[in-house]
Amino acid sequence: MSEPMNYLDGNAAAGELSKIFAMDVTAAEGQCAHCGAKRRFAEAHLYVQCPGVVARCAVCERVLLRLVNARQRAFLDMRGMTYLRLDTA
């Protein structure tokens, strides 16, 4: 038997990310800095059982993005992504 999923999909980050980005990041394509996979952010595995949210690559499970809100400040770490391509059309 497989392990039960303990993550949500990247769409669940839409609310938190909309506080920072004017555009919908979940529809954007990003490239994993670790394995090079190019996927829509919505396909990332989102972990919310932590102070903030952690998005992991759906292919290699390495961290793509971390977002923590603390003392009225948001800390955003996107080192796990080579790029995030937003459709401006």
Q: Which residues are at the interface with Zn ion (CB under 5 A)?
A: 32, 34-35, 37, 57, 59-60
- H or E, element range at 26: none
The answer to whether the CB of 65 falls within 8 A of the CB of 76 is: yes
Nearer to Zn ion, 36 or 51 (CB): 36
Nearer to Zn ion, 61 or 74 (CB): 61
**Measured from the CB of residue 8, what is the shortest distance to Zn ion in angstroms?**
18
Supply φ then ψ for residue 49, to 5 degrees: -85, 55
d(CA 78, CA 87): 18
Nearer to Zn ion, 17 or 81 (CB): 81
**Measured from the CB of residue 81, what is the shortest distance to Zn ion in angstroms?**
9
Could you give the strand order of the β-sheet that contains 29-32, starting from the edge strand earlier in sequence?
38-40, 29-32, 81-85
**Measured from the CB of residue 23, what is the shortest distance to Zn ion in angstroms?**
23
